[in-house]
Copies of this chain bind each other. A is one copy, B any other.
Amino acid sequence: LDYQHVQVPFEITLWIMLASLAKIGFHLYNKLPSVVPESCLLIFVGLIMGGIIYGLNDRSPPVMDTDIFFLYLLPPIVLDAGYFMPSRPFFENIGTILLYAVVGTIWNVFGIGFSLYGICQVKAFRLQDVSLLHNLLFGSLIAAVDPVAVLAVFEEIHVNEKLHILVFGESLLNDAVTVVLYKLFRSFCEMPTIKSVDVFAGVGKFFVVGLGGVLVGLTFGMTAAFTTRFTKDIRVIEPLFVFLYSYLSYLTAEMFHLSGIVAIIACAMGMKRYVEANISLKSHTTVKYFMKMWSSVSDTLIFIFLGVSTIGENHEWNWPYICFTVIFCLVWRALGVLVLTFFVNRFHVNTITSKDQFIIAYGGLRGAICFSLVFLLPDFRRKKLFIAATTVVILFTVFVQGMTIRPLVDLLAVKRKRESAPTVGEQIHIRFLDHLLAGIEDISGHWGQYYWKDKLEYFNSKYLQKLLLREYDQPKSSIVLLYEKLERKHAIELAEAGQLGHTLSHPSLLNNDRTVVTEKKLEDALDPDVLENIQEILARNLYRIRRTGPAYSRHTLPGETEPAKEILILRHKSL
């Protein structure tokens, strides 16, 4: 037996296997995941595993390694989140999201830090040795809402799209703020004196970290799109580039102390449309499937490890500090959301309701990022107290808030996500309104959202597509792509229901004829004159009326895509 030799890959494989089997186990009993979120179940499995390891070895089970978490487990989840981010609601609410992510997080950090410092001044609690800086450092790691935890819970409760993107977008973009504040306070802790220059440098650094991340991400995303232009002859390695470039963007950002999460999201969102157009259908299926698979496994592993790492002797218990941490986390977040939403609502027609505000505040779950950051703290006397407080906050938010949020959403009758996809009519109208609003903004000289979107679209079709797409001379409008997709899906459904054969054999069967006439032959059998006649009728009767329809674009003339749209409308009726 030579276990040493294969230990590393063997144990990794076994952990992944355990995670996957645990997932299968939960889903065998359908009732369980509908009551308890999967994240809670996984932490529970982790706690049991940790208990077993602790019992057998009689020493603390290994805690989740911070490097493993940040370098290997987090990127797949963020990549998945960025790649499947619904870009329309995200960009529509980008202002609000940034406000929550930046101002809200800073508010929480300082709120929690200063009020915990206040608690430390109470002599009875015996916490006087915890300095203000240490409290602020702790605040900076505990304040940030965790994207992994938020995703795990919000994916199951199906709230409306806007609410979802507000909480989830905040949890992703606050990474830049967290990184800056955490590193700032950590370096302040080690400095003898703090000058005001350092504070200003910190503020400047925030922009560098966030915008630098976006820049790194977009650079790699565009390179990825450019690379997939040349993969026509070796389809099989196409999916690889999507993963390689986005991972490189994350690592590069981390290397330069920028926000890796922001970088990978920018990379994924930037490359998505070009890569999708360049790679084959099967490659795309593989990319989507593998992304989902990878993020799902990472997610599972994170929660299991969170459970395992909780068990052990890393904790120093102090009732007041821990209880007040939980309370302050809840209170400051609620206050922050109330105040910020008040300002947001003053500038928006489509306001955030008080129910939504409650869910935003209540959905501020903490997770593995806090946990990893607290272990990364430099060693000092009260580190174990901070670890205990962080663990309690995470378990409280994931278990108590995570388990009660679904009943609360039901109880409050929060507006849910609409079940059905928007109809083709709706999609066309949305596009039409976009163009209309862009035109209005252009005329009125107002540089609003639609103006910039339109400018970007123009830049994209004029320069980027030519550079990044393989067949840029035939840009397909998204509606034609949708039509193709529908047709393909419909054809597969027909084939699977066995109706394709029926359709094709009907004419021949009725004639008691033994040869099946396919549609090809049918076409051949028709006289060219008849065919022309058909197309004439088609053009006159079907297309004429609607030709004045919603095909307005400021940069293109109505062109060849018309018939496809018509067929789509007709098909939609007939389905």
Contacts and interface: CB of A to CB of B under 8 A. Distances in A.
A87 to B, nearest CB: 22
A240 to B, nearest CB: 6
Nearest to A283: B289
Given A17-B244, A255-B3, A519-B494, A236 B574 contact: no
A194 interface: no
Interface in A300-347: none
Interface centre among A3, A236, A292 (most CB of B within 10 A): A236
Contact of A502 (B14, B285, B523): B523
A460 interface: no
6 contacts: A1-B255, A2-B256, A16-B244, A20-B241, A487-B495, A487-B501
Contacts of A236: 289, 292-293, 296
B522 A509 contact: no
Contacts of A9: 71-72, 247, 251
Nearest to A538: B509
Contacts of A23: 234, 237
A230 interface: yes
A255 B510 contact: no
A233 B501 contact: no
A236 B28 CA distance: 15
B20 A244 contact: yes
A245 B140 CA distance: 42
Interface centre among A24, A290, A496, A575 (most CB of B within 10 A): A24
A570 B518 CA distance: 11
Interface in A485-539: 487-488, 490-492, 494-496, 498-506, 509-510, 512, 514-523, 534, 537-538
B24 A231 contact: yes
Contacts of A240: 16, 20, 293, 297
Which secondary structure characterizes the binding site on chain A?
helix
A290 B72 CA distance: 19
B501 A519 contact: no
The list of the 10 closest CB pairs from A to B, nearest first, reads A491-B491, A491-B495, A503-B519, A286-B289, A27-B233, A487-B495, A6-B251, A516-B574, A236-B292, A488-B495
Nearest to A499: B519
Contacts of A158: none
B495 A490 contact: yes
B504 A503 contact: yes
Contact of A237 (B20, B502, B520): B20
Contacts of A490: 495, 500
A494 to B, nearest CB: 6
Given A234-B23, A500-B490, A505 B570 contact: yes
A231 B20 CA distance: 10
Nearest to A230: B24
A81 to B, nearest CB: 15
Contacts of A520: 499
Contacts of A367: none
A542 interface: yes
Contacts of A8: 71
Contacts of A227: 21, 24
Contacts of A59: none
Nearest to A289: B286
Contact of A10 (B251, B293, B522): B251
A541 B518 contact: no
A384 B251 CA distance: 38
